[in-house]
Amino acid sequence: MAHYAFLNGNNIVTEVIAGVSETKLIKNEDTEYWYGKFRNQVCKRTSYNDNIRKNYAGISYIYDEARNAFISPKPFESWILNKDSCLWESPIPYPRDGGMCYWDENIRGWVSVD
């Protein structure tokens, strides 16, 4: 079994489905091509273990053609895209003191829950 993401005209994921294995053909056609043609949408395979297209696709993720990667919506305005992993990172690293924190965009920093 493989997973497939359907994209709208802006390369935004509108749906993710489980489908036939990518090693199989459907009516002698590549699975991405067949699903895309069947749904009249661009279709890209995605993977839970991140071994294809960097990250598992989710609804509202963007497919970046240049990086051949799925990128989640930006969680905060101040966060920066890691161009290698295609994951968003805070401008200040998460504290490693063992406590729990949350990001506060107003102060652009981590706030301890304790």
Structure-token match 């949408």, residue found: 41
Rounded Cα distance, 46 and 40, in Å: 18
Q: Within this chain, do residues 6 and 43 fall inside the same structural domain, yes or no? A: yes
Count of domains for the chain:
2
Rounded Cα distance, 105 and 95, in Å: 16
Q: Within this chain, do residues 87 and 37 fall inside the same structural domain, yes or no? A: no
Q: Within this chain, do residues 82 and 67 fall inside the same structural domain, yes or no? A: no
Q: Within this chain, do residues 63 and 109 fall inside the same structural domain, yes or no? A: no
Q: Within this chain, do residues 49 and 93 fall inside the same structural domain, yes or no? A: no
User: What was the pLDDT predicted at 50?
Assistant: 67
Q: Token pair of 14, please?
A: 């509108």
DSSP H helices, the chain, are 31-39
pLDDT in tens, the chain (114 residues): 899 999 999 999 999 999 877 777 677 778 888 888 988 999 999 998 868 999 999 999 999 999 999 999 999 999 999 999 999 999 999 999 889 999 999 999 999 997
The amino acid occupying position 113 is: V
Q: Within this chain, do residues 59 and 105 fall inside the same structural domain, yes or no? A: no
Q: Within this chain, do residues 14 and 67 fall inside the same structural domain, yes or no? A: yes
Q: In which domain, by residue range, is 46 found?
A: 1-73
Q: Within this chain, do residues 57 and 85 fall inside the same structural domain, yes or no? A: no
* pTM for this model (two decimals): 0.87
